[in-house]
Amino acid sequence: MKKPVFYLVLVVITLTFSCCKRSDISEFKVAFYNVENLFDTINDPGVNDGSFTPQSALNWNTYKYGHKLEGIAKVLTALGDGELPVMVGLAEVENERVLNDLVRQPALKKGGYRYIHYESLDERGIDVALLYRSDYFEPLYSRAYPVRFPFDTSDRTRDLLYVKGVAATGDTLHIMIDHWPSRYGGKEKSAPKRNFTASLVRDVVDSVFKTNSRSNIIIMGDLNDNPTDESVTKILKAMKPGNLTKYDELYNLALPEYEQGKGTLYWKSWDLFDQIIVSGNILSGNMRLKLDPEKEQILKEDWMLYQKDDGVKVPSRTAGRKAYYGGYSDHLPVYINFVVGNSDSKSK
């Protein structure tokens, strides 16, 4: 049985708990960041982490690991623009140890972050996780959804993470953190695995909507597909935000950015694999949390980039297979920002 690295699973908590009530709340920022192979330096049995040890070609040592943690903390601090994000979905974290080390970074201590993480069977040894500030958000329930391909039973990939909780405003949120299968071997050849994963996410979404069609759902992750690809548009059924909004539909806040040529990672051209998708009720104004603006934003600062020979500035990655570069990540983070308003809605 999988065991979560947090202690509030399946615990019933009233919505009036004092630990998540703040009278001074004015904004509520939600972010996602693929941190590119956040591994510690320890070679753990049964984990494919040999490339990130002092004996590897990368000479992955305490200094490089510490530099990586400091860099991620710097990025998360910049996301907050003076106030740290309330929730951060993470992809490509190795284990509980690296999450502990990350939240203890001096730049993040004031956030008082806790985290939710499950160990998966991913063949690369990487998982997803959720960081959250316990004075703004209280988890009520969480679980990991394993991804097992019936057409390729030998492939082991990371789980999907689902968390239900309540914000300090009283709004109930359903959060999903995803990292869909990569395009290794080619986009077309690998597409069935992303399509299958999208169908699993859609199943979870449908089960939440079945309970309450006005549920507040936030899906964030590295989908390894763009907002216009089949897995996102036809299987997950995430559409472009518009004037007509239905409570029980999904809207991709990354799509307008992608149509403008923006992206979060670069390989010959910009791709926008890192996306935040929300349910219609979130855009309808029925919560106390109001999206401002109603779109995904990309953090792209010069100090996070390096300039290629052709003059294009791209995310400064940490390492290749055999070379250490010292950057932050090969992905840029994305975020949405809520402001606090008034509403009589009690969406669950």
DSSP output for 14-79: -TT-GGG--TT--EEEEEEEEEEEE--S---TTS--TTSSTTSTT---HHHHHHHHHHHHHHHHHH
Three-state SS for 199? Answer: helix
Q: Quote the pLDDT of residue 218.
A: 98
Q: What is the pLDDT along the chain (348 residues), one digit of tens a residue?
A: 454 544 333 333 343 344 556 767 888 999 999 999 999 999 988 788 889 999 999 999 999 999 999 999 999 999 977 789 999 999 999 999 999 999 999 999 999 999 999 999 999 999 999 999 999 999 999 999 999 999 999 999 999 999 999 999 999 999 999 999 999 999 999 999 999 999 999 999 999 999 999 999 999 999 999 999 999 999 999 999 988 889 999 999 999 999 999 999 999 999 999 999 999 999 999 999 999 888 999 999 999 999 998 999 999 999 998 899 999 999 999 999 999 987 654 456
Q: Are 227 and 253 in contact (CB under 8 A)?
A: no
Give the separation between CA 312 and CA 319, rounded to whole angstroms. Answer: 19
Give the separation between CA 299 and CA 337, rounded to whole angstroms. Answer: 12
Q: Quote the pLDDT of residue 68.
A: 98
Give the separation between CA 65 and CA 52, rounded to whole angstroms. Answer: 9
Q: Quote the pLDDT of residue 4.
A: 52
168 Cβ neighbours under 8 A, 6+ residues apart: 20, 21, 22, 25, 28, 135, 136, 137
Q: Is the dihedral of CA 140, 115, 200, 31 positive or negative?
A: positive
Between the two ends of the chain, the Cα-to-Cα distance in Å is: 28
Give the separation between CA 321 and CA 264, rounded to whole angstroms. Answer: 21
Give me the domains of the chain, ranges plus CATH numbers. 27-340 (3.60.10.10)
Residue 334: strand pairing partners: 32, 298
Cα-only R_g, the chain: 19
Which H or E run contains 198? helix 187-211
Q: At what angle do helices 96-103 and 62-80 cross, to 10 degrees?
A: 60
Structure token digits, residue 303: 């100090």
Residue 263: count other Cβ atoms within 10 Å of its Cβ: 23
Q: Quote the pLDDT of residue 294.
A: 85
Give the separation between CA 39 and CA 132, rounded to whole angstroms. Answer: 21
Q: Are 286 and 343 in contact (CB under 8 A)?
A: yes
Give the separation between CA 136 and CA 129, rounded to whole angstroms. Answer: 18
pTM: predicted TM-score of the whole model, two decimal places: 0.93
